Amino acid sequence: MFVKERFKLVESTLEEIRSMTPDFGYNGFGEFLYFRTYSRNICKNCRQPSIKLDLKTGREYCGSCQKGQILVHDFVDPLETCQEWWPDTIIRATQGTFSIRKDWYIKNHIPWDESFWQVYARHFAVSMYKMEWLPPGRGLWAMGSDFVYERGSAALQNCGFTIIGETLENDIHWMMDMLMCGVGVGFLPERQDELTVYNPKGTYDYVIPDSREGWCDSTKALITSFREKGSPKPRFIYDEIREEGAPIRGFGGVCSGPAPLIKFHQRIEMLMEQYACEEWYDSVLLKTDLANCTGCCVVAGNVRRSAELCAGTIDEVMDLKQYDKYPYRKDWGYMSNNSVFLETSEDFERLGEIAKRVILNGEPGYINKVNLPFGRIGKSMDGLRLDRAIAFNPCGEQPLEDKELCTLVETVPMRCHSDEAWLKAVEYATVYATTVTLLPTHRPETNSVMYRNRRIGASIINVAEWSDKIGTHKLIKNLRQGYEKTRNVSHWCNSEAGIPDPIRHTTIKPGGTTPNLPGQNAGFNRPNFEFMIRRVRLSRNSPVYQILVDAGVPNEPEIFDPKGTVVFEFPVHKTGFKRVSLWEQASMLCLLQREWSDNAVSNTLNFRPKWNLKYHLWPTVQAFLQADSVLDQYMSLAERIEVFNKKLPSINSFREFKATFEFSENVEVKIYEYDENHEEEDIEPVLSSIAPLTKSVAMLPITPKGVYAQMPEEGITEDEYKHRLLSIKPIDWSKLRGSDGIDERYCEGPQCVVRHG
């Protein structure tokens, strides 16, 4: 038990919170995301998400009030469940936060002033209810749950970082464990020329337990059999792993069965044998492949969606997604985004080379290692220690040490009625984050670095629109005041708890689902469209599915899983829409790195590509060779036959269009249109200009609307937006039953969403 003591809000506070009315954004879309993602299945009696399964009887009961538990012989006090509403979530998150702090004080014999903290918790909760500040999605889903009390803080952490070094088997074990806990992981595949692998000698039976630990331990055992000379290889028995479709307790979702783990084990053996036999296959490639295959296993196992970032030198990382050079990596190379280190003067001189690769596939990003030890770039380091961070989490906002996790929280200035209210929100957000750092994880190696650093990251949602509203000069003033506020509050919180000040305090995270709850743009990026269709994928088995159908929310089968998954379409109006240049985006990035973030700024700078993808087609070979209305606009039948007869990927340029072709069962055709106002020639100057002023940068081309089928976001006209809005009936969420939400993944921004390349 990680948290023994409990903090309960007084009845007057509970009544006040339950009497309030939530104000979700985006005309029902924010409310939908809340019920789909964060609303838990709770006990109707005590309103706690403490539903447990008695393995002996197969009956569910409440671990908090014992409803449903067998008390005498076969007598059962009946368990009734209901669905959590926004007030319940706020109460759970508040009581969970102050339970952690209370538990720490009492364990460490620090005076606990119950009356003070009751008053403080009331203001804390009301501000959160109004969405003036918000825990990260993982906090909204898990804070105050038995899972956190019993298993530690990993479920509350967004992302982490690990070196994959000499103890290869231990590092992959840690990475797999964290990915399965929902933590995105950045990694550095450390070059190790003396890394030796051996052919295992003999075998032994290994029964894999049906648990997260079972999957991770089996992976470590297999790698160890190749690393220790004379070690036998485990002969895995997968019989205890639950069958496909069975529920996953704790984090929700359903099992995939043992198939993904079996495939992962087979890949490990193949990679180890390749390293032993092929001279060209070095330790960096082996470690990167093992890390990427780990992510593929976790995703395919339905245990968790994964995010990875591979960091390394330019020569090691830049070509990892060049599948003509490494064709064997195509099945798993997409699992991580890749960033190169800038450390020496020679590295910075290669920014032009990096820019060329960015134009081709949006990678690599860069990490300026020269700036990692420092706080806000261009500001004094008074009161700050030098950071020993090595690289980044997958979203690029938190420099981290080996095995360190990042503790994040967000503020919403556009929801605050005054500057003073925002500063109060900064205070409550800081209290939340510093409190989470009091709770250890289940990994000792992680606790050792997190207890030393106490790193937090207080972020800001919708910076661009806030800047439009108040002006850049006022934005700078507010950022400076907010930074001092979080420094002062974190000092107070940590001094109270008897621990050192955080090594770093502020960040800009990319935002995921959370900013949509109050109807705000994530991070500092602007929306791509003012009016849009926002698509969401749901399983047909989801408790939310029928409720959306009954409300008339437009939907269609998912093209890759038409029987199991449905895509729902919500009309959304994004305020703050404005096309800004690559240079203006870069300027805002530098401003935030200077005035606010002493960690880093998660960013994806969007540039206008020279060739915009206009059509993405998958015609059959017959349709490709015959007349086709789209193809006929751009190329003749003779040209199509010439391309087809080559049987190879090719590029044809004609007029102001070009096309690429790939052949399989169908022909994949991509037709591009030339943009004379493109920004590709600005990429190298922008990178070179801002590299000394930033810690990390990533870039992506702007994707035009409607190119890919079922894109997450697609622009529409204002008239279509209004028409779609009127066609949807009010959604009756009182019908929702039995949903335990969806564990939020890491940060879920543009850098976290894996780019296939």
Residue 475: pLDDT band (50, 70, 90) is: very high
d(CA 432, CA 267): 42
Region 356-364: mean pLDDT is: 88
Which is higher by pLDDT, 581 or 246?
Answer: 581
Q: Which residue(s) pair with 570 in the sheet?
A: 534
Per-residue pLDDT tens digits for 266-283: 999 999 999 999 999 999
Quote helix, strand, coil % in the chain, to nearest 5: 40, 20, 40
CB atoms within 10 A of CB 229: 11
Q: Could you say which DSSP state residue 528 is in?
A: S
Give the whole-angstrom CA distance, residue 92 versus residue 94.
6
Distance CA 740, CA 676 (A): 50
Quick one: what percent of the chain has pLDDT higher than 70?
92
Q: Which amino acid is at 630?
A: V
Q: Is the pTM of this model over 0.85?
A: yes
Residue 651 pLDDT: 65
pLDDT in tens, 183-232: 999 999 999 989 999 999 999 999 999 888 999 999 999 999 999 999 99
List the catalytic residue out of 159, 395, 493, 747: 395
DSSP state of 601: B
Assign 301 a pLDDT band (cuts: 50, 70, 90): very low
Tokens of 97: 């936060």
In the predicted structure, residue 161 carries a pLDDT above the cut 90: yes
Of 704 and 718, the one with more pLDDT: 718
Amino acid code (one letter) for 534 = R
Taking residues 556-561, report their average pLDDT.
85
The span from the CA of 730 to the CA of 489, in Å, is 42
Give catalytic status of residue 493 as yes or no.
Answer: no
Residue 725 has pLDDT above 90, yes or no: yes
Statement: residue 75 has pLDDT above 90: no
Question: Which amino acid is located at 333 in the chain?
Answer: G
d(CA 79, CA 54): 13
Annotated catalytic residue within 316, 397, 404, 410: 397
Distance, in Å, from the CA atom of 169 to the CA atom of 603, rounded to the nearest integer, reads 32
Task: Look at residue 629 in the predicted model and tell me its pLDDT.
Answer: 77
Q: Which 8-state DSSP code applies to residue 666? A: B
Mean pLDDT of 544-558: 94
Does the pLDDT value for residue 73 go beyond 70? no
Residue 158 in this model has a pLDDT that exceeds 50: yes
Q: Which residues of 611-645 are buried (b: 16+ CB within 10 A; e: fewer)?
A: bbbbbebebeeeebbeebeebeebbeeeebeebee
Question: What's the chain's average pLDDT?
Answer: 90
Please state, in angstroms and as integers, the Cα–Cα distance from residue 120 to each residue in 53, 431, 579, following that order: 36, 10, 42
Q: Residue 649 — pLDDT band, cuts 50, 70, 90?
A: low
Distance CA 39, CA 736 (A): 10
- Helix ranges restricted to H, 278-343: 283-300, 314-317
Say whether 84 is catalytic: no
Task: Place 245 in a pLDDT band, splitting at 50, 70 and 90.
Answer: low
pLDDT at 751 over 60: no
| Residue 259 contacts residue 334 (beta carbons within 8 Å) | no
Position 433 scores a pLDDT of 98
**Phi/psi at 216 (5° precision):** -65, -45
Q: Residue 409 belongs to what H/E stretch?
A: strand 405-411
Look at phi and psi of residue 117 and say left if phi exceeds 0, alpha if psi is from -120 to 50, else beta: alpha
